[in-house]
Amino acid sequence: MIAWLKGEILSVGAESCVMVASGVGYEVTCSANTLAEVDSAESAELFIHTHVREDQISLFGFTSQVEKKLFLSLLKVNGIGPKLDITILSAAKVADIVELIENSDAKGLAKLPRIGKKTAEQMILSLKGQLVVEEKPAEVIAKSQNKEVVSALVNLGFRVGDVEEVVEQLEPGMDLQDSIRKGLSLLTN
């Protein structure tokens, strides 16, 4: 099985790219997010899932292990095959999908293309608390921390709109206390 490819990006289409590695061109189906990352690159590295059926072998590529792990997790849900899986990953960022599942937001999941209410509920039932994503993606951590900073500053009496503007200006990676201090400083100046 092919698990990883590094090579030149020969072409990028609507749903796939052609990657040349060791003189062989591989057609790799990717999410819109991955295709956007490799579109302007001359070369790239992709984590690959090789999907084998009776009549075909397909390669699915991802720029991050986190996206690949979410793809593999979604494949375990009844009613989700690899093509629908890629459609889901194309419609939203990995962090947003993880957040919707962890928050049991069936309505939010049902807004994704080709996902109905039953499939959304099945995704939550199958994956909540069991996602293979080993680490929380940095975006999920940042969003969670930003919500805490907004909550703290609003509780101190500042307007929500002003607080949200200030929180967007904060440096990513700051710890919670420093973020609150910096936000407070910006709001009082």
Q: Is the pTM of this model over 0.75?
A: no
Between CA 12 and CA 184 the distance in angstroms is 46
Please count the other Cβ atoms lying within 10 Å of the Cβ belonging to residue 76: 12
Strand partners, 19: 9, 26
Least confident of 13-17, 22-26, 173-177: 173-177
Provide the pLDDT confidence category of residue 141 given band limits of 50, 70 and 90.
low
Provide the pLDDT confidence category of residue 139 given band limits of 50, 70 and 90.
low
Average pLDDT rounded to a whole number, residues 65-70: 93
Kind plus residue range of the DSSP H or E element containing 61:
strand 57-62
First CA to last CA across the chain, in angstroms?
58
Distances (CA, A) of 110 to 12, 113, 142: 29, 8, 24
Give residue 58's identity as a one-letter amino acid code.
Answer: S
For tokens 């984590």, what's the residue? 47
Distances (CA, A) of 30 to 25, 37, 106, 155: 15, 10, 25, 43
Name the average pLDDT for the chain: 89
